[in-house]
């Protein structure tokens, strides 16, 4: 159940981040409201996750997975540039998340 809660927190953070780009520096009302609402949801779910998961593992997975997915969405769907270094960086983030998860599992 803890991974379901953490996954929902990650999804809320990803969507909130994508809406943040659409908010145009918080100058557009609805994307701003969506961003703020989804970040409240993300942090609330992360806080619930921390009741049963180590903070280093939970935050590492939450931030790393969010970073990797947003970077991939930017490259695939938003026309952001791709380079060997960018792909390598995302792969290192994913590797770090996997290692944190393996190291934190008991």
pTM as predicted: 0.90
Residue 75's pLDDT is: 92
Domain that holds residue 89: 2-104
Backbone angles phi, psi at 101, to 5 degrees: -65, -45
> What CA–CA distance (Å, rounded) separates 66 from 20?
14
Give the tens place of pLDDT for each residue, 14-54: 999 999 999 999 999 999 999 999 999 999 999 999 999 99
End-to-end Cα distance, the chain:
15
> What CA–CA distance (Å, rounded) separates 51 from 14?
22
Alpha helices in the chain (DSSP H): 2-22, 29-49, 55-77, 84-104
> What CA–CA distance (Å, rounded) separates 69 from 97?
12
Question: How many domains does the chain contain in total?
Answer: 1
Residue 105's pLDDT is: 57
């Amino acid at each position: 159940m803890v991974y379901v809660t953490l996954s929902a927190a990650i999804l809320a953070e990803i969507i909130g981040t994508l809406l943040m780009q659409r908010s145009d520096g918080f100058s557009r009302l609805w994307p701003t409201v969506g961003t703020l609402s989804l970040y409240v949801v993300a942090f609330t779910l992360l806080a619930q996750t921390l009741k049963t998961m180590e903070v280093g593992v939970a935050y590492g997975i939450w931030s790393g997975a969010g970073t990797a997915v947003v970077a991939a969405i930017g490259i695939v769907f938003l026309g952001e540039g791709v380079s060997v270094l960018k792909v390598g960086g995302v792969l290192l983030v994913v590797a770090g998340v996997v290692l944190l998860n393996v190291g934190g599992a008991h």
